[in-house]
């Protein structure tokens, strides 16, 4: 039985992880189909329906400018998910490069790169993000880049640990004996076998990036108006929480469900990819 088949069967057995995957796929579908799904334009102002409670016309109510909250949340899912995927893609790319070089070559290069990782880990990441975004004009691309550039350290350490183990395996020695160069050995032979923990870290990383984006938008340093995001809707809800509970409830639940779903998927992947559990439970 192929490894991928075993992994998939084990993942499906974890009901919470499978439910989380269904929710994630549903969110991705909603984000991709936002123009067709949203009942209104997310920036359409209707001053006759300011702070209207949930109704048949506006299922999630309206905000302080009469904009439909459901439509803004649907479009906001595109912001949150795109930030999560792009930021994690940047972080994984940096982490894989640094972790691969450190683990494969070792020696002085390993020591220098790992000390750099240690230095980065001592810096309060969120405050670093606040500083950079306060200096640079806030935008969705700024957020993606900042989150990615400040979130690669754990991936680098995971990849380095895998390389330290894998580079001593027979298939790597055989590749070198057959004349494969260092880059070919790294990216063709070792890296594909070191990606399992990276996939798990990426899943958790998307959840973390969504939380960070929501926090930055809540503070007014994220996606700028009139573009909708879950964090900016929460900011509006904070100002009207005594009279418009829906502005805080629905985006808060969206963030909670999304982050929880990604975390459940990450835990399910971690268990499904752990060969030690295969030995004890079987496929």
CB-based contacts of 39: which residues, under 8 Å, 6+ apart? 68, 70, 71
What is the structure's pLDDT at 89?
93
Reported as a single tens digit per residue, the pLDDT across 212-233 is 888 888 887 777 778 888 888 8
Residues 186 and 194: their CA atoms lie apart, in Å, by 10
HSE-CB for 96 with a 13 A CA cutoff? 20
| Least trusted range by pLDDT, from 10-24, 34-48, 119-133, 192-206 | 119-133
The sign of the CA dihedral 205, 210, 214, 216 is positive
* 263 closest CA partner among 84, 97, 126, 86: 84
CA quadruple 94, 98, 103, 104: dihedral sign: positive
At residue 283 the predicted structure's pLDDT band, cuts being 50, 70 and 90, is very low
Question: With 90 as the cut, is the pLDDT of residue 272 above it?
Answer: no
Find, among 4, 40, 42, the residue nearest to 283 by Cα.
4
Instruction: State the average pLDDT over residues 157-168.
Output: 88
**pTM, 2 dp:** 0.85
Count CB-CB contacts under 10 A for residue 271.
Answer: 17
Domain 72-281 has CATH 1.10.40.30: no
Mean pLDDT of 130-145: 81
Average pLDDT value for residue range 244-262: 91
8 Å CB contact between 217 and 255: no
pLDDT confidence of residue 26: 94
Tens digits of per-residue pLDDT, 63-99? 888 899 999 999 999 888 888 889 999 999 999 999 9
Task: Inform me whether the pLDDT recorded for 203 exceeds 50.
Answer: yes
Q: Where are the domains of the chain?
A: 72-281
Q: What's the confidence (pLDDT) of residue 277?
A: 55
| Residue 278 clears pLDDT 90, i.e. is over it | no
């Amino acid at each position: 039985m192929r490894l991928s088949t075993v992994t998939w069967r084990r993942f499906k057995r974890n009901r919470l992880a499978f439910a989380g995957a269904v929710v994630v796929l549903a969110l991705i579908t909603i984000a991709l189909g936002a123009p067709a799904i949203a009942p209104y334009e997310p920036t359409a102002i209707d001053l006759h329906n300011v702070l209207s409670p949930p109704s048949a016309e506006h299922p999630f109510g309206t905000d302080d400018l009469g904009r439909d909250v459901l439509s803004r949340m649907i479009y906001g899912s595109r912001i949150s998910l795109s930030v999560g995927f792009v930021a994690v893609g940047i972080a994984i790319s940096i982490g894989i490069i640094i972790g691969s070089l450190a683990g494969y070559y070792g020696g002085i290069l390993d020591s220098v790169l790992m000390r750099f990782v240690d230095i980065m880990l001592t810096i309060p990441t969120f405050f670093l993000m606040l500083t950079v975004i306060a200096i640079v004009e806030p935008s969705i691309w700024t957020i993606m880049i900042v989150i990615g550039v400040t979130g690669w350290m754990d991936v680098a350490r995971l990849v380095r640990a895998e390389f330290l183990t894998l580079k001593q395996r027979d298939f790597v020695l055989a590749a070198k004996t057959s004349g494969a160069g260092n880059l070919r050995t790294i990216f063709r032979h070792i890296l594909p076998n070191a990606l399992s923990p990276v996939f798990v870290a990426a899943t958790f990383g998307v959840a973390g990036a969504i939380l960070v984006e929501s926090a930055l938008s809540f503070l007014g340093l994220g996606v700028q108006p009139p573009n909708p995001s879950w964090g900016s809707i929460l900011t509006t809800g904070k100002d009207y929480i005594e009279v418009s509970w829906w502005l805080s409830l629905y985006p808060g639940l969206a963030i909670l469900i999304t982050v929880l779903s990604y975390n459940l998927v990450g835990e399910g992947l971690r268990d499904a990819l752990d060969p030690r559990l295969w030995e004890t439970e079987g496929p």
